[in-house]
Structures are given as C-alpha cells and as structure tokens.
Amino acid sequence: MRKALFVGGTASHVGKTWFTAAFCRVLRRRGVRVAPFKAQNMSNNAYPCIEGGEIGRAQAMQAEACGVPPMADMNPVLLKPNSATGSQVVVQGKVWGDVQAREYYGLSAQLFELAVESFERLAGQFEVVVCEGAGSVAEVNLLSRDITNLRLAERVGAAAILVADIERGGVFGSLVGTMELLPESQRRLVKAFAVNRFRGDVTLFDDGVTFLEKRLGIPCLGVFPWAEGVELDEEDSLGIPAGGSDEVAVVRLPRIANFTDFRTVGPVDWVERPGGKQYRVVFLPGTKNTVGDLAWMRAQGLDEWVREQWEGGALVVGICGGYQILGESVDGVAGLGMLPVKTVMQPWKVTRGVGARTVGGTDFEGYEIHMGETERAGDACFYLADGGAEGCRVGRVMGTYLHGAFDTAAVVREVLGLERVAADREGMYDAVADWLEANARRDVLESLLA
C-alpha cells in the first residue's frame, strides 16, 4: 500500500521544511525507502537534479537526508521570483517560461496535474513520500487553485500534520483558525498538530496542549523546542541568518539566489547600504535578476562601496550573478568593470553538478545554475575536472559560476584565507531526526508512520 505523509503549516516559515527533513531521516534510519516532495515551491535557492534541471534547494537537502539524489519530480513546480510580480516557472526541472502572478493562476489546473504526475512517479519508486506544503494550508482565496497543500494531500491520500510556530505568538488562534477555515474534507486529513520553536520549560504549555487537543479534536504530536546548533539549508530568503562579522560581508541583493553558498564562510554581515566597516572579504552573491540588482546596487551606492572595500584591501568575490555584475557588461549594460568579462544572456539555462579544483590543487564539488554566456579574459578562478578554466581572477577580484565552491573548508582556507570548519551534514540530519523523536509523543508519531 502506498504511504504518503503531508506536513502543512499555519503560515510560512513555521518549520515545515525542518519537520519534513526530520521525518525523512527518521524513516531512512528505519530502513524505509523514502523521498521528499513539494509540489510547488517559490524560491531562488535551487540545486541541479541527477537527470538534469533543477529543484528547490530545500528539497535537495531533504533528498540528502533520505540518502537519495535530488530528482526533478521531488519539486515539480519551482517559482523563481525575478520581479515584484513575476517569476520564472520551472516545471519538472526545466524552464517553462516567465509569467506574471495573475497569468500563473490561470495555469494552476494544468500544473496541478503535472504535480500529481510527479508524485505518482515518486510513489512508484519509494515506500513513503513525505510531502511539504507551502505557506498556510488555509489561504481561502487560493483553495480552488491550490496545487501544493491539502488539495494535493487529498488527491494522493496523504495523512497530514499541521505545524505552528509559537515563537511568532498567537499559536492558539493560528491553529484553531486554520482548522476552522478548512473545508471538512481537508480537515479530516489532519491527524495531529505540532507546536514548534518553544523556548523554556515545555511543561508550562501542558494546559495549552490540553485546550488545543480538545478544541481541535486531534492529538498533539509534541511541543518542540529550538534545536540549538542544527542548521539545515533554508528554502528562501526568510531564512537568511542574522549577521555578525568583522571579516566577511555579503551584499544582500533584492533577488538574491542560493545564499546557502555562505554557510561555511559564515558568520557574515548582510549589507544593504554602505557602511564604514572594512572587511577582509566581500561577496556579491547570485541573483535571479542580474541587471535589476545591478541597478539597485548603483541606486544604493553599493557599487562605489564595493570598490572602496577593494581599495581598502578586501578580496571581492562574485558568484554566478555576482560574477556577471563584476564584469564590464551584462547584456549591454555596464557592469562594475572590476573583471575583464562580458556576459550576454541566452534563452537556455545551464544546470549541472561539476567537479573542480582550485589553482592550488584542492578538489571540490560544485554546481552551476545560470543563464547567460560569459566571455572571459584574465586568469582562471578555478579549473574544472576536465582541465578547462572556470571563472576569472585579477588580483583581489574574482568571479565564478560555481555555487557550493565555498562549502569545502579547504577551499575557504586557500582562496579566502579564512579558517573555517564545514558543517557535518550527515550529523545535522541525524540531529534533527533525534530532535523529532525526543520531543514527539511516541504513540502519535508511530500512528503517523505506521
């Protein structure tokens, strides 16, 4: 019998991604063949799939927790915002096109069927599929067009849990209100709720649990404390960590992409306007709109700030779109002119994992997700496994298309001159699974996983 578990939330960023990864890891440790699934994701954090194409970075992380490679069907619809009202739409790993929000709603019926198709393929390969919802499950104005929340769970026969974040406040209203707004057919799918991010003595919330269980008519999976020291790849820019560094700054572009590039480099300061602090390293990160974010930098005075940082001794590093910004031009628009490269945007997208090495001979794994072809001069930043030059470096300015290059502590040490320790990713997945099992009511957890 096919088994699916759905993890929904009362709002965005309440911990759905964490719970999904935790369930995935718990099941894997029990010897179950398990895969993650999110029908629709809105994020500029992406990762290449084993068969080509791309999915959301969070689903790639969850796949890693399952011990399986990222697959396009794990996130069949990925929306990559490139303006205030528009997104690039990636369907089953491949670019579908750029659409405006209102236009996108007209595509929901077609995309829903494609999402179900992807789920069915996963369900044919794995014993359990753990599905993550998006935002709130009770967006009543979108229920008829929903392709990723309880309408999807209802279609595929998934049992559901509802996650709320007590740190935000209003946990009673968010849980009760969410359940009250659901149509009866979807309310019946919700088998338990979880209270997340509790600080302090969880027994102080016992009366709250009693009230909620009585009012909602379903059991509490548990009251889950903050998990100190556990860091998982975040889904979107809401998860950018607080800053705090005297060494490294990252320009926080409006349409920043793949900010997970800095997890080993961190902590970092996220810079949105010029300041007086001098850094050792300044990053220009990836972006979903290179020309638009270049214009934003100029409007903020950050183009001059980056140059002043370089003049003060900083190493300036551009990754992907940041690499393009550092060049002489991007589609005919003048760049910062700090690297002898020119970029012309193309209709196709490069999405691939690559093996590479530093100039000093340190091997590492990275990946490319970008549009545009860059004509380069100057020295190479890195070398690909086939010996080809990658990126560009001139003195204390360098640019690369390789995301993930600085996940390797030895690369951080050699290239940036910083002593860092890479996170133990397998240990993190075990830690979040331990967190789930330690704080869940055993009978409720087993009923969900049975």
Question: Could you say which of 131, 220, 381, 403 is catalytic?
Answer: 403
Residues near 131 by Cβ (< 8 Å), separated by ≥ 6? Answer: 4, 5, 6, 7, 20, 36, 37, 38, 39, 119, 152, 153, 156, 158
Using DSSP bridges, classify how beta strands 382-384 and 286-287 pair: parallel, antiparallel or unpaired. unpaired
Alpha carbon distance 151, 142 (integer Å): 11
Using DSSP bridges, classify how beta strands 329-330 and 341-358 pair: parallel, antiparallel or unpaired. parallel
- The residue among 3, 61, 74, 73 whose CA lies nearest residue 33 is 3
Residue 449's φ and ψ, nearest 5 degrees, are -95, -5
3-state helix, strand, coil split of the chain in percent (to 5) is 35, 30, 35
Residue 181: CA atoms inside 13 Å, Cβ hemisphere, count? Answer: 16
- Say if residues 398 and 318 touch (Cβ distance below 8 Å): yes
Left, alpha or beta for 337 (phi > 0: left; psi -120 to 50: alpha)? Answer: left
Alpha carbon distance 35, 113 (integer Å): 20
Token pair of 136, please? 């709130």
> Catalytic: 131?
no
Burial of 201: CB neighbours in 10 Å, binned 0-12, 13-18, 19+: exposed
Residue 311: CA atoms inside 13 Å, Cβ hemisphere, count? Answer: 6
User: Rounded to a whole number, what is the largest CA-CA distance in the chain?
Assistant: 68
Question: Could you say which of 320, 370, 381, 392 is catalytic?
Answer: 320
> Catalytic: 403?
yes
Residues assigned a catalytic role = 320, 403
